[in-house]
Structure 1
Amino acid sequence: MGRPRRALLSADLIVREALALIDADGVEAFSMPKLAARLGVKSASLYNHVDGRPAIVEGIRVLIVDEMDMSGFADRPWSEALIAWGRSYRTAFARHPNVIGLITTTTVTSPATLDMFETVVDALARGGWPPETIVPVLTSVENFLVGASFDQAAPDVMIDVAEREHEVPQLAAALRAAGTAKAGRAEVAFELGLAALIDGLAARLAALTDGPA
């Protein structure tokens, strides 16, 4: 017998095709029947490899996490490692903006994602953060990164004052000063915010521990 013309189903293939479907058509297009149709199989066939939609969402999360740079946590100070991780975090989600809302509103259960958070938390603990502050620090950093990822997917013109410049002169002047290239504005805003966040956290740590961060 010859080889099958269609790739054999696997959990990895299903998850990757689900991500491709969401990338192309948005999260509203993500359903088991639509995914099965994309793969050329019956919906029931998917359940032989994955435990339904939640498992696929977790698989997508793992694909995003795999794109993040965790190398700095091995030997760099927590602040430097967070900056490198933060940049790669934003880049990873910016490649797949349609999944941001889906991923960030579902409970984390996958071992790969838990391992990522373990690495970050361990670096914060080694850096001297008191135990009760570590999850709030992690959450505040992620909140900023998720927002920055959404900004990457924002329209080229997010604030349009074209017909009301005389009513909002300060805003209009600030927008002109920022320039017209969305990519440049987003990058400047991200780096400014990331630096301010990390510097603020370092100052906070110093205040908590009565010493340099």
Structure 2
Amino acid sequence: MTDAARTAPRRAGRPLEKVLSRGRITIAALEVITIEGYGGFTMSSLARTLKVAPSALYNHVSSKQEVLQWLEDHVMTMVDVSGFGSEPWDAAVRRWAWSYRDVFARHAPLVPLVAVLPVTGAPETLKMYETVAVGLAEAGVPGETIIPAIVAVESFIFGSALDANAPADIFDTGDLADSSPTFTDAVRSQDRTSGAAPADAAFRFGLEALLAALESTRSGPHA
């Protein structure tokens, strides 16, 4: 081989490995959102972070919506399901629910996606559901009750994740206090007596009510 052949530049062409992947795009999206917030997240900002042209990005993902779906599935890995199989069933559900609420309170714009996202194509989400379903089944919750129970708790979690981002004075009746005296007094009573943040107090109250309902469904040797 001549010296010229050895030093000739490599021909332009398709790289041997893909520059982009679902995992790399997802992590980059989380990086953009951490720095700029969901409002600043665009396909252009994602392409800049990945140091590729937007057209290259669209060769791997169809839309911003699809990236957010990938991100949602990634965020599910942050939800703590470690209590199932190692703690009493109710302690495991509490750990899961509080963790789930806290994770999506930090990623509230994903809540509308989670509520309608099919588990097909979302392996981490499905893994979480399987862990919870196994835990409930082993606790003696009837099979026909497991999905309604998960949906009920999850719906409560989603609403609570949004509530955790609500302004502290959301129930301040202001000049309308005289027209709603009972409600206004209840708000003031909560402010005087609750040692926890209002969103946390409400979440604890609702979660314990759901756990009591689940307890009433349990049967067999686990009851």
- Show the counterpart of 1:72: 83
Matched, 1:119 2:131: yes
Is the contact made by 1:22 and 1:98 (CA closer than 8 Å) also made in structure 2? no
- Counterpart among 53, 69, 73 of residue 62 in structure 1: 73
141-150 vs 58-67, which moves further? 58-67
- Show the counterpart of 2:148: 136
Please provide the CA RMSD for this pair: 2.7
Instruction: Give CA-to-partner distance per residue, 1:63-109, whole Å, 9 cap, x none.
Output: 22121111101222322211110010011111112222233232223
Aligned residues: 202
Matched, 1:84 2:95: yes
Is the contact made by 1:156 and 1:182 (CA closer than 8 Å) also made in structure 2? no
Q: Determine which structure has more spread, i.e. the larger CA radius of gyration.
A: 2
- Counterpart among 179, 195, 198 of residue 208 in structure 2: 195
- Show the counterpart of 2:15: none
Structure 2 letter corresponding to 1:113: T
Is the contact made by 1:22 and 1:99 (CA closer than 8 Å) also made in structure 2? no
What are the equivalent positions in structure 2 for 1:128-207 lying under 5 Å apart?
A: 128-179=140-191, 184-203=197-216, 205-206=217-218
Is the contact made by 1:18 and 1:56 (CA closer than 8 Å) also made in structure 2? yes
Whole-angstrom CA distance in 2 between matches of 1:21 and 1:100: 18
Structure 2 letter corresponding to 1:95: R
Change (3 A) 1:182 1:64: farther
For structure 1, which runs of at least 5 residues remain unmatched after alignment?
1-7
> TM-score, normalized by length of structure 1?
0.81
What are the equivalent positions in structure 2 for 1:25-36 lying under 5 Å apart?
A: 25-26=37-38, 30-36=41-47
Is the contact made by 1:90 and 1:145 (CA closer than 8 Å) also made in structure 2? yes
Whole-angstrom CA distance in 2 between matches of 1:152 and 1:132: 31
Is the contact made by 2:101 and 2:161 (CA closer than 8 Å) also made in structure 1? yes
- Percent identity over paired residues: 35
